[in-house]
């Protein structure tokens, strides 16, 4: 069984207002799940609007990431208050937590992304972390969210850094799916790869314009936020697991095992992993185009103020055995790095990271 997309999608300006009548028919007692104090006003609006529809509404916040401690606490809140649904309003960790809670309790989930940092509002997947932000595992879910509300006015309030993160994460769809799945004899998978190629091209064309000019009547901004939040999710829905992840996400998962002094977004770390994946392709698969891809990506990433090395994530790989820790986790048996069509060893990852960090490449 393959869950491709949410049952109902509302998108554009005032998508939330358009969704209210449908939501009111589906549920009567939702828990609104959030996290950031910066999105309190939006969540309060959602709560007020639903109370005006005579729904019995409660709210709760994540204390950490999408982790077992938070999930257990929130399950108790839902059961004690007889909530019949979860409305997850926030970034990727909030959306993943809401989907996972709904799956565990067999109730519907409605996702309301409040930034374009991720496609988590779309997917039938949750990433589970420790409360300190270390990746543990991906959990496939039985279904995508019941309703996805992608309101441009909500997303427009998010910091531009979240959009840059979403662009990096969405770009990875092409570079990961094209290398892991290009030889799979399945029409839907091949179509997903082609969608991811168009997605990449659109982000390379529009990404910088969207980042610098965050307003609704800018077509580049509209196209870019929907590419990050909707199209990227569709690629994984149609293409399945191997169209979602490879070395870029595997290296992200490994980097999270080292706790940096400052918090970084999922896509910011994936972007660093993507550059390292391309170096692996160059070294192990004799990919002559990989270096050109790196130069092209570096130019965009620098203009989006994205980190391009692990050092820029606040981690020195040459101390505290960090390099070995990252390589070990990236190459563990169940890692997505092994979706690559060539063998990767821990030593390969050590060598690529060490060389990349020492070069400290920047292209303006």
DSSP 133-145: S-EEEEEE-SS--
The DSSP output letter for 126 is E
pLDDT tens digit string along 316-358?
999 999 999 999 999 999 999 999 999 999 999 999 999 999 8
> For residues 244 and 235, what is the distance between their CA atoms, to the nearest angstrom?
7
The two three-digit tokens of residue 141, written as one number: 């879910």
- Write down the domain spans for the chain: 8-156, 160-359
- Mean pLDDT, to the nearest integer, of 37-63? 95
> For residues 232 and 239, what is the distance between their CA atoms, to the nearest angstrom?
11
pLDDT tens digit string along 107-146?
999 999 999 999 999 999 999 999 999 999 999 999 999 9
Predicted local distance difference test score (pLDDT) of residue 364: 44
Residue reference for tokens 């990252």: 326
| Residues 196, 235 contacting (CB under 8 angstroms) | yes
Q: How sure is the predictor about 28, in pLDDT bands with cuts at 50, 70 and 90?
A: very high
Q: What is the CATH number of domain 160-359?
A: 1.20.1090.10
User: What does the chain come to in residues?
Assistant: 364
The two three-digit tokens of residue 250, written as one number: 């595997």
DSSP-assigned beta bridge partners for residue 90: 113
- Which SS3 state, helix, strand or coil, does residue 348 take? helix
Predicted local distance difference test score (pLDDT) of residue 361: 52
Nearest to 227 by CA among 139, 306, 150: 150
DSSP 212-252: H---TT-HHHHHHHHIIIIIHHHHHHHH-GGGT-SHHHHHH
The two three-digit tokens of residue 185, written as one number: 């004899």
pLDDT tens digit string along 74-107?
999 999 999 999 999 999 999 999 999 999 999 9
Residue reference for tokens 């790869």: 193
Q: What ranges make up the beta strands (E) of 130-219?
A: 135-140, 147-151
How many alpha carbons lie under 13 Å from residue 275 in its C-beta half-sphere?
Answer: 29
Supply the mean pLDDT for the chain. Answer: 94
Residue 285 has pLDDT above 90, yes or no: no
What percent of the chain has a predicted confidence (pLDDT) above 90? 87
CATH topology of domain 8-156: Rossmann fold (3.40.50)
> For residues 196 and 85, what is the distance between their CA atoms, to the nearest angstrom?
32
What pTM value is reported for the model?
0.95
What percent of the chain has a predicted confidence (pLDDT) above 70? 98
Which helix (H) or strand (E) covers residue 44, if one does?
helix 40-51
Q: How sure is the predictor about 214, in pLDDT bands with cuts at 50, 70 and 90?
A: confident
Nearest to 117 by CA among 140, 144, 90: 90
pLDDT tens digit string along 53-77?
999 999 999 999 899 999 999 999 9
Predicted local distance difference test score (pLDDT) of residue 260: 81
């Amino acid at each position: 069984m393959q869950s491709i997309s949410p049952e109902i999608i509302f998108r554009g300006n005032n998508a939330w207002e358009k969704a209210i009548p449908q939501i009111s028919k589906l549920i009567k007692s939702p828990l609104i799940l959030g996290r950031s104090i910066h999105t309190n006003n939006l969540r309060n609006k959602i709560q007020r609007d639903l109370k005006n529809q005579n729904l019995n509404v409660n709210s709760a916040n994540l204390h950490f990431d999408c982790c077992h401690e938070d999930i257990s606490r929130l399950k108790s809140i839902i059961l004690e208050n007889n909530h019949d649904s979860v409305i997850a309003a926030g970034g990727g960790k909030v959306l993943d937590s809401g989907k996972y809670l709904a799956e565990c309790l067999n109730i519907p989930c409605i996702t309301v992304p409040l930034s374009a940092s991720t496609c988590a509002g779309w997917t039938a997947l949750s990433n589970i972390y420790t409360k300190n932000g270390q990746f543990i595992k991906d959990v496939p879910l039985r279904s995508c969210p019941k309703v996805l509300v992608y309101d441009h006015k909500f997303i427009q309030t998010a910091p531009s850094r979240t959009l840059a993160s979403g662009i990096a994460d969405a770009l990875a769809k092409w570079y990961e799916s094209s290398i892991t799945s290009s030889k799979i004899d399945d029409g839907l998978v091949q179509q997903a790869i082609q969608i991811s190629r168009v997605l990449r091209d659109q982000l390379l064309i529009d990404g910088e314009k969207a980042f610098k000019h965050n307003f609704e009547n800018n077509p580049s901004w509209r196209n870019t936020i929907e590419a990050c939040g909707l199209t990227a999710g569709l690629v994984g829905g149609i293409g399945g697991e191997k169209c979602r992840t490879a070395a870029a996400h595997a290296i992200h998962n490994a980097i999270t095992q080292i706790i940096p002094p400052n918090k970084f977004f999922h896509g910011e770390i994936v972007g660093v992993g993507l550059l390292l994946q391309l170096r692996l392709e160059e070294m192990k698969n004799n990919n002559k185009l990989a270096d050109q891809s790196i130069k092209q990506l570096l130019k965009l990433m620098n203009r989006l103020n994205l980190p391009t090395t692990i050092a820029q994530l606040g981690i020195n790989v040459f101390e505290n055995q960090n390099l070995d820790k990252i390589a070990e986790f990236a190459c563990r048996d169940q890692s997505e790095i092994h979706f690559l069509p060539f063998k990767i060893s821990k030593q390969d990852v050590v060598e690529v990271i060490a060389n990349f960090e020492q070069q400290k490449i920047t292209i303006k």
